[in-house]
Amino acid sequence: MTDEAHPRSAFGAPPQGGAASGPAKPVPRRPLGVQQSLGPVLTVLGALGVVWYAAATWLNAPQVIERVLSDRPGWGLADLLPLTWSMERPVLPAPHQIALDMWRSTVDWPLNSPRSLLFHTGVTAASTLLGFVMGTLLGLGLAVAIVHSRTLDRSLFPWIIASQTVPVLAIAPIVIVALGSMGFTGVFPKSVIAMYLCFFPVTVAMVKGLRSPGVMELELMHTYAASASHTFWKLRVPASLPFLFPSLRVGIAAALVGAIVAELPTGAQAGLGARLLTGSYYGNTVQIWSALVMAALLGLVLTGAVAAADKWLTPGGRK
Amino acid sequence: MSLLGWALPGQPWRWAFFALLLVLTVLAVVSLRRLSALDPKGWQVRFATPLLFGFWVLLFWELLTQGYDVPKVLLPAPTVVWASLLQGAPTLLGDFQQTVLHSVLIGLALGSGLGFVVGVLIDRSPFLQRGLLPVAALASTVPLVGVAPIMVMWFGFDWHSKAAVVVVMTFFPMLVNTLAGLAASGHMERDLMRSYGAGYWRTLFSLRIPMALPFIFNALKINSTLALIGAIVAEFFGSPVSGLGFRISTEAARLNMGLVWAAIVVAAVAGSLLYAALEWVERRSTFWHPSIRMG
């Protein structure tokens, strides 16, 4: 589980417990330096940009021709290109339009204005982080309880594994409505949704991690006359750290999805999800795209922070 | 048996209700402890313990919601959900068709198929792999489900837009797993194939794709959950008058929580069945793999 690019833990997919899926198969690791892959990545991104501009022209051309160019006989490609890349409400906005919109909506407005994109990002980030902290604590607590109680292990753990096959995100509207009827609104209901998306991967990985010490190590602790709490803190916890951080990465990405989706069903006033929703109501495509890019950046920053914490905290320094 | 409001203050049967709860709690704890102390070798014991746990959870859920007369908006009792499930069966069947049979299955097939084909194609180019794998890893940290409003705008309100969201969400997991799976066959096996005079395609179909199957099924299982989430969430952004996500969001807005919970039960059952079906096919097609041979 030390591989950062481990396919089993990527993509919001929980690192699956042994009972529900096949065994962890070793993934052949190709050591890639940053320098080695920088060129190819830039090439791929560059190609993507070219394709994007071409697609913007192709998708927006019909509207441009119909509205602007139809009464201008003898127009050519040189007239068409700039027009398709600067439409008010394009089918597909060009990348520079999105960048410009993001720049304007972050710089031109004060941070507490609902027209500032950073304001909405902050709202979503707040409920993501609160949900992440609650979910991690809940996940850790459950994992410790499951490792120490045979009853919970046999009766509760199978349900936690099985629930990974179920679209738990569908409960989001219920949580919003139920907590709303109890008088909770704002950040808290959203972070509850982020929490319950986040705790599954943490629990499953930590149960695995706390159990990872073998019979040899456990017996060694036994010969030292170590108490249960000593075995836990000196052996199980350090052994579980390599399992913890990949699951936290999955967990924080899941928490972000939860926070964004939680902003949809109630027509929330603030947050990136609300921004996506209002954009889709008013057909403001540039706003949708800039909210989407912002959500992507937020995801990268949050998982990057977890990865940095991993480098800092894991003894021996994983590479 | 209706216990509606028994536990509320001032009710004559209040103490009887508490006594009942106490007895049942003791019973639940004792029965679960004894069952989990049994030898877990047999499949009966392995299944019985979680099932019993589920039974106790449902029973307490029913008793507490009825005893305290919890408002249905907060949490409907399991029997209420069951009644709405039966009553709303025709509606939910239509939603199931719309969401699962159209959006999820078609999107899952297209997205996973595309990921597989692209994986096989770029497997021959280390340059493209180095360029695409980091991008795919980044895509896993991005809330891709946010493309839903764009897809709704492009492909309309019907299931086509939901299937498109599912394609976007399922493409990268399959791509990454296909690449990892194609690299799973060792040099020994490949050299053996070459010594048999097998060309690229022969090696691909006889050695490398079979070796990649465990990875591919892993991706399919991840994707089956992602696909359901994608389809349901995309329906929150607008859909015709059916679909599980549509049902959940509109009935929640009307505070008809029985039907909302019933729709969630349908989604959960659909997700589990899809997963179980994939697992069954995996066991059939990778019977040679050590993890399955050992049983």
Residues 119-148 of B with CB under 8 A from A: 127-135, 137-143, 145-148
Per-residue pLDDT of chain B (295 residues; tens, 9 = 90+): 567 777 777 777 778 888 888 999 999 888 888 888 877 677 777 788 888 889 999 999 988 888 888 888 888 889 889 999 999 899 899 889 888 888 899 999 999 999 999 999 988 888 888 888 888 888 888 888 888 888 888 888 888 899 999 999 999 999 999 999 998 888 888 899 999 998 889 999 989 999 899 999 999 998 998 899 899 988 888 777 888 888 988 888 888 888 999 999 999 999 999 999 998 998 888 877 777 665 4
Residues 275-294 of B with CB under 8 A from A: 275, 282, 289, 291-292
C-alpha span between B174 and A58 (Å, rounded):
29
Report yes or no on A44 lying in a domain: yes
C-alpha span between A256 and A261 (Å, rounded):
9
Report yes or no on A121 lying in a domain: yes
**In terms of residue numbers, what domain contains A303?**
117-313
Exposure class string for B164-196: b at 16+ Cβ within 10 A, else e: bbbbbbbbbbbbbbbbbbbbbbeeeeeeebeee
C-alpha span between A85 and A64 (Å, rounded):
10
Does residue A67 sit in the same domain as residue A126? Answer: no
Residue pair B225/A167 in contact (Cβ under 8 Å)? The answer is yes
Q: Which of B74, B141, B254, B286 to mutate to test the interface with A (most CBs of A within 10 A)?
A: B141
Q: Do A170 and B264 touch (CB under 8 A)?
A: yes
Report yes or no on A105 lying in a domain: no
C-alpha span between B289 and B277 (Å, rounded):
18
Does residue A209 sit in the same domain as residue A286? Answer: yes
* pLDDT for res B7: 72
Does residue A231 sit in the same domain as residue A291? Answer: yes
Does residue A86 sit in the same domain as residue A138? Answer: no
* pLDDT for res A203: 92
Does residue A47 sit in the same domain as residue A152? Answer: no
How many C-beta neighbours within 10 Å does residue A221 have?
A: 19
A166-212 tens-digit pLDDT: 788 888 888 888 888 888 877 888 899 899 888 888 999 999 899 88
C-alpha span between B67 and B6 (Å, rounded):
5
CB nearest to B130's CB, from A5, A32, A264: A32
Residue pair A144/A210 in contact (Cβ under 8 Å)? The answer is yes
Report yes or no on A112 lying in a domain: no
The answer, for B241 touching chain A at a CB cutoff of 8 Å, is no
Does residue A143 sit in the same domain as residue A277? Answer: yes
Report yes or no on A109 lying in a domain: no
Residue of B nearest to A176 (CA): B252
Report yes or no on A9 lying in a domain: no
* pLDDT for res B154: 86
User: Phi and psi (nearest 5°) for A112?
Assistant: -95, 10
Does residue A208 sit in the same domain as residue A127? Answer: yes
* pLDDT for res A319: 42
The answer, for B177 touching chain A at a CB cutoff of 8 Å, is yes
Does residue A279 sit in the same domain as residue A133? Answer: yes
How many C-beta neighbours within 10 Å does residue A77 have?
A: 7
User: Phi and psi (nearest 5°) for A24?
Assistant: -70, 115
* pLDDT for res A315: 65
* pLDDT for res B120: 92
Does residue A59 sit in the same domain as residue A166? Answer: no
| Helix runs in chain B, H state only | 14-37, 43-67, 78-87, 89-96, 105-122, 126-139, 148-155, 159-182, 187-195, 200-203, 209-236, 244-253, 257-285, 290-293
Amino acid at the residue B176: V
Residue pair A173/B263 in contact (Cβ under 8 Å)? The answer is no
Does residue A175 sit in the same domain as residue A263? Answer: yes
**CATH, residue A246:** 1.10.3720.10
* pLDDT for res B167: 94
Spans of chain A, pLDDT less than 50: 1-29, 318-319
Name chain B contacts of A11, Cβ cutoff 8 Å.
Answer: 139-140, 172-173, 176, 222, 226
Question: Chain centroid to CA B182: how far?
Answer: 26
Total residue length of chain B: 295
Residue pair B160/B235 in contact (Cβ under 8 Å)? The answer is no
* pLDDT for res A29: 47
Q: Do A170 and B128 touch (CB under 8 A)?
A: no
* pLDDT for res A39: 82
* pLDDT for res A3: 36
Count Cα atoms within 13 angstroms, Cβ side, for A19: 18
Per-residue H/E/C for B196-247? CCCCHHHHHHHHHHHHHHHHHHHHHHHHHHHHHHHHHHHHHCCCCCCCHHHH
Q: Do B153 and A44 touch (CB under 8 A)?
A: no
Q: How close B18 comes to chain A (CA, Å)?
A: 25
Host H or E run for residue A198: helix A187-210
Of A254, A48, A246, A231, nearest to A164 (Cα)? A254
The answer, for B28 touching chain A at a CB cutoff of 8 Å, is no
Q: How many domains does chain A have?
A: 2
* pLDDT for res B86: 92
Q: Do B131 and A264 touch (CB under 8 A)?
A: no
The pTM assigned to this predicted structure is 0.83
Report yes or no on A17 lying in a domain: no
How many C-beta neighbours within 10 Å does residue B285 have?
A: 15
How many C-beta neighbours within 10 Å does residue A113 have?
A: 11
Of A186, A287, A249, nearest to B146 (Cα)? A287
Does residue A70 sit in the same domain as residue A218? Answer: no
Name chain A contacts of B50, Cβ cutoff 8 Å.
Answer: 154-156, 158-159, 162
Does residue A279 sit in the same domain as residue A141? Answer: yes
DSSP B124: T
